[in-house]
Structure 1
Amino acid sequence: MSNRRILSLWFPRLGAERLVRAARGLHEGPLAVVEEQSNMQVITALNLAAQQAGLRVGQPVRDAHAMCGGLITRIRNVPAEAAFLTALRRWAGKFSPWVAEEAPDALVVDLSGCAHLFGGEAALLDVLQTDCADMGLSVQMGIADTLGAAWALARFAGQEAGSDRNGDAISQEARATRARAGKRRHWTKGGVAPQVVTAGGGARIAGPGQTYGALSPLPVAALRLDDATVAQLGRLGLRRVGDLLGQPRASLARRFGKGLVLRLDQAMGSAPEPVSPARPHVQFAVRMTMPDPIGLKEDLMAGIDRILPNLCAKLETKGMGARQIRLEAHRTDQAAEVLSVGLARPSHDPHRIRPLLELKIDQIDAGYGIDMLRLMAVQVEPVHARTLAGHADASRAVRDRLAGNTAVDDLIGKLGARVGLDAITRLHPASSHIPEKTAQTLAAAWSEPAQDWPRPPTPRPVLMWQPEPVMAPDTPTVPDRFRWRGRDWTLAEARGPERIAPEWWLDDPNWRSGVRDYWVVVTEQGHRLWLYFGHGGAMSSGWFCQGSFA
């Protein structure tokens, strides 16, 4: 027998009670959280007053307003509810280190070996009930050997299996089914009768090994089945979990699919269903409280020199490097001054981070004094250890290749502290034979330097611009004289042509002139120009100038 003990915490009014905690006055009347589903607003959460008025989750808002004229509605904020559930998961961590979220409104806690620290399971539920009452939250709880059983007890304990059919039909349907289910009640063969302990707040505790007896009287919906399957089982007279436990498994799988049998096995412990807690969030932050308020730049930098090495030590221990650092200076008037700096490469070296903070420290307004400094690595990335390798005569090249140019990275970081990291760019080679598309512009802080640039078939001009028309004869032969930019030019030398075709799979408006023949033209005035003759295509043919060599 497994020694696992699983606790299920269900917050049936989580969405509404979160809003009540955040806003004043909402607790005074009925409150509903609404969401648009299938072009219709429906209720997703209610407070206690709204439930007492007869409203229900899933009801259209128009019907709810007709039933309750004083109803207050608020639009559902899914990210805020998820963040609130995450906060509750951290709170539940004081009862067990194995806590998982069950979106959108529940938690699952593995209590194995933890309940005795609080005086037993019943005493633990009393503590949970008290804490939730202090937080203004409604909670329903269940403890059992399996996750499925605890889920069922938290939501359906004490409920009778009902039917939507009349009494005459109920008394006549599925007699063989109920007879077989009744015989299975003696499965313990003289053992101790199953017991379900009632704790405070309506919670239910199924003792170890008593899962069968705890689940048998519950409706089949407690097995986490979809509504269609529950309705189909009800029409066959299978309304309680005990009715299903008395049926042949092969027949259930053939009639309702393997999902029903799987849910039965998970609830009874025959199929594994582990509790997978979320990975704890590692936050790299340090702070320092001042004995007396400070306001001078030298004092602020002295405080940073005290806490920055601690932050870098935490980063180095985890093998991480900071890409963005945030400094919070909390003033005595409860206000806070915040500044952020970015690094071109992840680093945990305080000597590379400190100059960036010093560049922007003048932006902090100390006011009546600063009594607390907080330094946090907002964005971190792994930093891998690098080992130099290579022959003795190539050690310098290997070191530069592996370690990178830290001087350039520091320069990028310092310039980024002034103008922003996104404003500093570098060119990278691109896979294209079109001259103006052979390079792409990337942010220098978020890209590595290009190592090898592909060599073009012929030299490319230093300056390139959009093609400008050249007045010359409309023939492929290089003209001896032509007019460009309002001046007359005389040909001294020409080298070419280099034929470049457009990318046929892209419709580029600049290349609708079709195939181009490029020439390097040297004029008698001493200019080296990059001219091409367009062979027409979707546009008229002619000569154009697109660049200039040094």
Structure 2
Amino acid sequence: MVNRRVLSLWFPRLGAERLIRSEPDLWGRPFAVLRDTGQMQVVASVSQAASREGVHVDQPHRDAQAMCPGLLTRLQNRQAEAAFLGTLRRWAVQFSPWVAEEAPASLMLDITGCAHLFGGEQGVIETVQEGCERLGLTVLAGVADTAGAAWALARFSGRGDMLMHRSGDAIDQEAPATRVRAARRRHWTKGGAAPQIGVTGQPASTIAPVGQTRTALADIPVAGLRIDAETQAHLARLGLRKIADLANQPRATVARRFGKGLILRLDQALGSVPEPIAPAREVQNFAVRMTLPEPIGLRDDIEAGMVRLLDRLCVMLEERGKVARQVRLQAFRVDQGSEWIEVGLARASSVVDRIRPLLSMKLDEIDAGFGIDMLRLEAVQVEAALQRPMAGRFDAEQSVAKRLNGSEALDDLIGRVGARVGLERITRLHPADSHLPEKTAKVMAAAWAAPYGQDWPAPATPRPTLIWRPEPVTAPDSAYPPGQFRWRGRDLHLAMATGPERITPEWWLDDPEWRSGVRDYWRVTCREGDCLHMYYAHGGAMSAGWFCQGSFA
């Protein structure tokens, strides 16, 4: 039986080093990334230079600025950091095909059967560290039989001076006048404050031998079990500061006091409960680009480049059995600016002649500025192409005629109109299974819904052509249509009434419009020419009376 081996990679300075890579002026200077909590700004990530000055994660910005006056700061961009972690995940595939992201700054690799390709597990870690050093990233690694154990080893084991203590344990960082008092404080294993994770030196790594997970985790703090800070504090008050202390306690007692979540984390780390690694699904990018030898600015030149890119993009989609639903054209200017346009298709397609007119309609929105030196065309949203059966000549001719005169022509029209007003504004109706007049049809987006392919179901009584929210009618309180009534500021006289059709509310739904109770619907024809859809509400949560809800003409 092959022993499972998991490698955990932690990037403790991911947020700061991501910005340092893009802004070389920050290299070697105290730098921190700030997170806004609503009440104040706290440090979310620090550089090595800032760590040497005493700045640490979760420290308030004002305290960090007082400790390091020359501290440079930037606000945190969680989306950009998540995207950068995704890039690192794709980079880590060279070490194992099974790579998963662990928010906020960690990767989990299943290296079972892969370590021998790099000279063993230590060789894998050294190769990872060399690659990260070239990328300008700090990485901490841990290898164990389980994902939970590898996670804990990467953060807590083998750190040595890399653990910063907010108590007086790290007295080398305190002023000489306070060292005597600090020395009297108890160590965290004997009741002192729990250690805080920080990085102040070079990366380190720890490997737990096969089958020795419990021994490797014995001296690691309970924070290595991936539990919340409140649970850690409760365990510390009871003197349970190391994983070994917790593992030796009666399970029933621990579960009764702290819940099953703590026991689950402990079992996952020790291997009693499996914890699968779910790698992120690889996202396929369908994009082509063109770098121009000379900047262009004329609309005809941009369209010519767009057509060449569209030919290549459609070929790429057809080769992979995909069709585009949404397409984006990006134009990069010589002044480092960019412009882009985006179009959607009512029916996903990989045909050039169906996409090109939509893009051409929006080319005037691109501001070329001092010139465009690169064009990029991307299929932002793609779908699987439907498989078409083989057909003879007659069937092919019928298919062409259908495309020219049928649904595909309508889809092209919807796409053209949607390019100007928005696809979400073009709707179509489908019948709905409801006896309420206002719910006999449901509104659907025309671009993402096929036409109703059957005959529209006919109700037992005709429904009005126009329908609106019920409007009060001034009339005598009687269950039969009044001979004279007032509606919308007009006095109307009854000529003919057809009905009633009694409809009760849907008892399983609490619709505010139907709190008037049972309704008797009438088709009322007036002498003035109006043909109205009126009803008498018998009263429920609302008072009884006459209302007008629609018109038949």
Q: TM-score, normalised by structure 1?
A: 0.70
- CA offsets 1:165-199 (integer angstroms, 9 cap, x no match): x99x99xx9xxxxxxxxxxxxxxxxxxxxxxxxxx
SS in 1 for 2:461: coil
Q: Tell me how far apart the structure 1 counterparts of residues 5 and 76 of structure 2 sit (CA, whole Å).
A: 34
- CA offsets 1:47-98 (integer angstroms, 9 cap, x no match): 3344334454455667666766666666554433322222222233344443
Deviation at 1:265, TM superposition (A): 4.0
Is residue 516 of structure 2 the alignment partner of residue 518 of structure 1?
A: no
Distance 1:27 1:448, change over 3 A: farther
Distance 1:260 1:250, change over 3 A: farther
Q: Tell me how far apart the structure 2 counterparts of residues 364 and 125 of structure 1 sit (CA, whole Å).
A: 48
Q: 1:262 aligns with which of 263, 267, 270?
A: 267
Is residue 146 of structure 2 the alignment partner of residue 133 of structure 1?
A: no
Deviation at 1:282, TM superposition (A): 0.8
Distance 1:27 1:19, change over 3 A: farther
Q: Does the CA contact (< 8 Å) of 1:31 and 1:49 recur in 2?
A: no
Q: 1:458 aligns with which of 450, 461, 466?
A: 461
Q: Does the CA contact (< 8 Å) of 1:221 and 1:230 recur in 2?
A: no
Q: Does the CA contact (< 8 Å) of 1:515 and 1:536 recur in 2?
A: yes
Deviation at 1:421, TM superposition (A): 0.9
Give 1 or 2 for the bigger CA radius of gyration.
Answer: 1
Q: Tell me how far apart the structure 1 counterparts of residues 420 and 455 of structure 2 sit (CA, whole Å).
A: 31
Distance 1:107 1:456, change over 3 A: same
Letter in structure 1 aligned against 2:460: P
Q: Tell me how far apart the structure 2 counterparts of residues 18 and 113 of structure 1 sit (CA, whole Å).
A: 32
Tell me the residue number matched to 2:421.
419
Tell me the residue number matched to 1:499.
502
Aligned residue pairs: how many? 503
Moved more, 376-385 or 213-222: 213-222
Tell me the residue number matched to 1:508.
512
Q: Tell me how far apart the structure 2 counterparts of residues 482 and 256 of structure 1 sit (CA, whole Å).
A: 75
Deviation at 1:215, TM superposition (A): 3.2
Deviation at 1:425, TM superposition (A): 1.7
Deviation at 1:416, TM superposition (A): 0.4
Is residue 289 of structure 2 the alignment partner of residue 284 of structure 1?
A: no
Distance 1:212 1:361, change over 3 A: closer
Q: Does the CA contact (< 8 Å) of 2:21 and 2:136 recur in 1?
A: yes
Is residue 88 of structure 2 the alignment partner of residue 84 of structure 1?
A: no
SS in 2 for 1:353: helix
Q: Tell me how far apart the structure 1 counterparts of residues 123 and 456 of structure 2 sit (CA, whole Å).
A: 71
| Structure 1 unaligned blocks of 5 or more | 174-199, 390-395
Q: Tell me how far apart the structure 2 counterparts of residues 126 and 491 of structure 1 sit (CA, whole Å).
A: 92
Distance 1:432 1:9, change over 3 A: same
Tell me the residue number matched to 1:192.
none
Is residue 366 of structure 2 the alignment partner of residue 361 of structure 1?
A: no
Q: Percent identity?
A: 52
Q: Does the CA contact (< 8 Å) of 2:329 and 2:378 recur in 1?
A: yes
Deviation at 1:415, TM superposition (A): 0.7
Q: 1:314 aligns with which of 313, 316, 319?
A: 316
Distance 1:67 1:517, change over 3 A: same
Deviation at 1:283, TM superposition (A): 1.0
Tell me the residue number matched to 2:11.
11
Tell me the residue number matched to 2:102.
102
Q: Tell me how far apart the structure 2 counterparts of residues 516 and 221 of structure 1 sit (CA, whole Å).
A: 65
- CA offsets 1:4-56 (integer angstroms, 9 cap, x no match): 6654322222233334445555853363645649x787654333344334454
Distance 1:519 1:372, change over 3 A: same
Tell me the residue number matched to 1:29.
30
| Structure 2 unaligned blocks of 5 or more | 170-182, 191-200, 256-262, 392-397
Tell me the residue number matched to 1:393.
none
Moved more, 293-302 or 100-109: 293-302
SS in 2 for 1:28: coil
SS in 2 for 1:379: strand
Q: Does the CA contact (< 8 Å) of 2:294 and 2:373 recur in 1?
A: yes
SS in 1 for 2:80: helix
Is residue 552 of structure 2 the alignment partner of residue 549 of structure 1?
A: yes
Q: Tell me how far apart the structure 2 counterparts of residues 234 and 535 of structure 1 sit (CA, whole Å).
A: 66
Q: Does the CA contact (< 8 Å) of 2:358 and 2:416 recur in 1?
A: yes
Tell me the residue number matched to 2:343.
341
Distance 1:222 1:407, change over 3 A: same
Q: Tell me how far apart the structure 2 counterparts of residues 377 and 543 of structure 1 sit (CA, whole Å).
A: 55
Deviation at 1:339, TM superposition (A): 1.0
SS in 1 for 2:451: coil
Deviation at 1:408, TM superposition (A): 1.9
Distance 1:477 1:375, change over 3 A: same
SS in 1 for 2:342: strand
- Once the two structures are superposed, the pairs formed by residues 26-425 of structure 1 within 5 Å of their partners are 28-29=29-30, 31=32, 33-34=34-35, 36=37, 43-58=43-58, 76-111=76-111, 125-143=125-143, 147=147, 150-151=150-151, 153-155=153-155, 156-157=157-158, 159=160, 201-204=202-205, 206=207, 215=216, 219=220, 224=225, 259=264, 262=267, 265-266=270-271, 275-290=277-292, 293-295=295-297, 297-367=299-369, 369-385=371-387, 405-425=407-427
Q: Tell me how far apart the structure 2 counterparts of residues 271 and 435 of structure 1 sit (CA, whole Å).
A: 56
Q: Tell me how far apart the structure 2 counterparts of residues 239 and 207 of structure 1 sit (CA, whole Å).
A: 17
Deviation at 1:367, TM superposition (A): 4.8
Letter in structure 2 aligned against 1:262: D
Q: Tell me how far apart the structure 2 counterparts of residues 64 and 225 of structure 1 sit (CA, whole Å).
A: 27
Q: Does the CA contact (< 8 Å) of 1:45 and 1:57 recur in 2?
A: yes
- CA offsets 1:357-393 (integer angstroms, 9 cap, x no match): 232234334455544332111122344436699xxxx
Q: Does the CA contact (< 8 Å) of 1:92 and 1:99 recur in 2?
A: yes
- RMSD of aligned residue pairs (Cα, Å): 5.1
